[in-house]
Structure 1
């Protein structure tokens, strides 16, 4: 039986990408990294794991549809069935959503629906809430609005800084995302 093939989309340092790759035994093979930033550190991490990278810069395309169509062609060439967003800083549009309905998931550093969008950790910290956390959710056309798959709380401690909170949240992200991926992919076998 052929293994399930997946792609990771990332825009930055790639700490979640690296955690996924280090986990191993996910029930799928990561066959492609899609990145929208040609200078992103995640590209080097993909090379270290021998994962091919497709860099697509949105500004080089006439429209979002053209941008996503180029990504879709590459996903189809690689026979990708699952897409895992890991610090991908773009909204997914209709072209990809229609082709991968129910097969695109994202990890977000808050207890959604609280603190969607960019800098969720900073938003929670500045708001003075007592807890935040991590959410894994299906991707839809909204900003972090898709159905929630799993969440884990993180208490904000009185002596926390944004950096210490971020470190604790990332540790949970790295563990939780791999666990959810394994569970979802197992259903596809």
Structure 2
């Protein structure tokens, strides 16, 4: 009988530790960073200013702030091939780079040598996530190349996760209301046109 009590106590103790581990994992504040890139080939005869304006307007719809520059092109006629962004660590080989790497921080920066338009943009949601974008537009013989490099950092867990979850739920609710309103409006328009 004592064996069964001892096994039961051991199971209860193990379950308690497992529960504490789950709670600690939930309360642990974490930061996750994901990098990605996209390359768009824009084959058009449109002039440089038109394409730059379109890229700037598209970028502006999804960010909080941007720094844009339009350097003087280093060519008289567009080259046969477009350029590409390069990822560099401006602090490579320094103590700062070693310290950052030890703390899980990436110091990579996208460079856009030879681009006709460069934009550095940020979309930040306080205490939740940060999206950093670098956009490089190169002109070439067949049109333009738009390279976009992004670094997305999202905070999860901790006490603030409660407010993040509530704001996420509210955002989903608002999107649902908009979708239902749009659907009802479309249905109402359809009904009115049938009459």
Q: State the TM bucket, normalised to the shorter chain.
A: under 0.3
Higher relative contact order, chain-length normalized (CA < 8 Å, sep 6+): 2
TM-score w.r.t. length of structure 1: 0.21
Larger Rg computed on CA atoms: 2
